[in-house]
Amino acid sequence: MRLAVTLLALCCMADAYAQDTIAPSSQRQPAATPSPSPSGERGGAGRGSAAPPPAAEQHRLPPDSTTKQTVTLPGRTLDFSATAGSIRLFDDKGEPQADIAYTSYQLDGTDHARRPVTFLFNGGPGASSAWLQLGAAGPWRLQIGGDGAVSSATPDLLPNAETWLDFTDLVFIDPVGTGYSRFVASGEDVRKRFLSVDGDVSSIALVIRRWLEKYDRLSSPKFVAGESYGGIRGPKIVRNLQTQQGVGVRGLILVSPLLDFRDFSGSSLLQYMNTLPTMAAVAREVRETGKAPLTRADLADVERYAQGEFLTDLIKGQVDTQATTRLADKVAALTGIDQAVSRRLAGRLEVSEFRREFDRRNGRVTGRYDASVIGFDPYPDSNSAHFGDPSGDPLKAPLTSAAVELTTRKLNWRPDGSYHLLSESVNRSWDFGRGPAESVSQLRQILALDPKTKLLVGHGLFDLATPYFASKVILDQLPAFASPDRVKLVVYPGGHMFYSRDGARQAFRAEVEALVK
């Protein structure tokens, strides 16, 4: 009898431990029962022992820090618990692999069983969650537009009147290699496993399930929000949660997403159609300075042309000189690009060409994240392009400083090492697999699997990194079960981070609240 009890206890321990591992994708199964979060602590060495701690412990992030916080906003005051901490992930041999950092906000005085919780991440690959947390949804906000969109701006965090915390708890996740998240195992194998499309999805989905278990929130309504490359991550993570982790998701929120790399790679003609309305929007915004803000409705004629005559002439190819000239001249008229340049390029404007040619006469270039932002070309006389992004690069310094200030001072969590807002190392090492990544397949599957799951997609008119029209075309191809009451596209004046503009941030918050409620 004693032997049987001992064996049963060992089996239960092994099962709980297995729930904390990242198994190969072919071996992953839906979660069975909640598993405890392993402490990872090791017993102290004997007296007089000089043995150093294992390498994994030397790199360990500090214990979670939970603090009570209050923000006073127009018409209300929010009291909440803020936690900065991490979740350790293991491989199928029980060896620690990575510590994934998160920041969570849970409103006080609520019924957690009924209270929604939203998990948020950015993209890159290689981006931390600071943009969504400090620009859109978190309880504090950094001004990242106007005077705040310069490298030397003071990184002052202010109460965010548009925080989503009123109607959902928030968990911001930094994938490994971003923020303070880090590998605790060495070697190329672990890097290759995590820094890949599938490995990344598996690790984030597991972190979500582990957080739900840790805070007893498995019964809460659950939502997922991703930005930019989060358009690839988001649908795949929801699919993984549904089928591998045993976690249902009520809604998916995508901010400036890229859904299919194939539309912007190689010789795809769709890339020119997808970017044309954004280029035209930039031209009209600059020409009509002082007038009412441009809206998507103002671009109805461009959208019709892009999907109609433009695409027809484009497909005919340059062998049809009349069609090519007609197309090039129309593109020049819509985008403000010099007619001679448009004809030289056969009306096929790549993003980098447009950014440089739009105001080349004045030695200026447009942004990529927000093409309505125009800055100086550092080498205006060069035959080659040597410029960054005047709409994105200036945000790196204030966002990094604000994220560190929030974590270490306000939330009292002080990891060693540097905070990585945007890791070039992660981006360079990313394994996209055998072909351009896409998540449209997973979108179809998650919407078909659960008729209650909803999708909200938000874009900025002036975003050349992930143009809104690409998402519009993709969403229009979904089957009838993806009805308008389940799938919604909203487009605002602004760029990739359209929430940097007050009106867009307020309007998008209202859309998210309607989805969650």
Is the same domain home to 474 and 446? yes
Report the domain count for the chain: 2
Question: Once rounded to an integer, what is the mean pLDDT over residues 38-67?
Answer: 59
**Residues 111 and 148 grouped into a single domain:** yes
Q: What average pLDDT does range 31-47 have in this prediction?
A: 33
Q: pLDDT tier at 59 (50, 70, 90 boundaries)? A: low
Same domain, 410 and 344: no
Per-residue confidence (pLDDT) for residue 55, from 0 to 100: 57
Widest Cα–Cα separation across the chain: 90
Among candidate residues 387, 409, 425, the one where a domain is terminated: 387
Q: Tell me, yes or no, whether 98 and 163 share the same domain.
A: yes
CA distance 22 to 454: 28
Please report, for residues 443, 454, 475, 484, the alpha-carbon distance to residue 480 in angstroms, rounded to integers and kept in the order given. 13, 14, 11, 9
Is 433 in the same domain as 287?
Answer: no
| Structural contact between residues 342 and 328, judged by C-beta atoms closer than 8 angstroms | yes
Q: Are 402 and 315 contained in the same domain? A: no
Same domain, residue pair 383 and 414: no
Verify that 367 and 276 share a domain, yes or no: yes
Determine, yes or no, domain membership for 447: yes
Residue 500 lies in a domain: yes
Examine the domain organization and report whether 252 and 276 are in the same domain.
no
The 10 Å CB-count burial string (b at 16+, else e) for 148-180 is bbeeebebebeebebbbbebbbbbbbbbbbbbb
- Quote the domain boundaries for residue 376: 269-387
Average pLDDT over residues 133-149: 91
CATH number at residue 486: 3.40.50.1820
pLDDT score, position 54: 58
Do 377 and 389 meet the contact criterion of CB atoms below 8 Å apart?
A: no
Residues 408 and 509 in one domain: yes
Task: Supply the pLDDT for residue 276.
Answer: 98
Do 411 and 451 have their domain in common?
Answer: yes
Radius of gyration of the CA atoms of the chain, in A:
24
Closest Cα partner for 131 from 204, 225, 221?
Answer: 225
Task: Tell me the per-residue pLDDT of 78-130, one tens digit each, with 9 for 90 and over.
Answer: 999 999 999 999 998 899 999 999 999 999 999 999 999 999 999 999 999 99
The Cα 359–Cα 365 span in angstroms is 6
Of the three residues 387, 408, 430, the one that is the final residue of a domain is 387
Mean pLDDT of the chain: 88
Express each pLDDT in 426-464 by its tens digit.
999 999 988 789 999 999 999 999 999 999 999 999 999
Rounded to whole angstroms, how far apart are CA atoms 327 and 350?
15
Residue 15 pLDDT > 70, yes or no? no
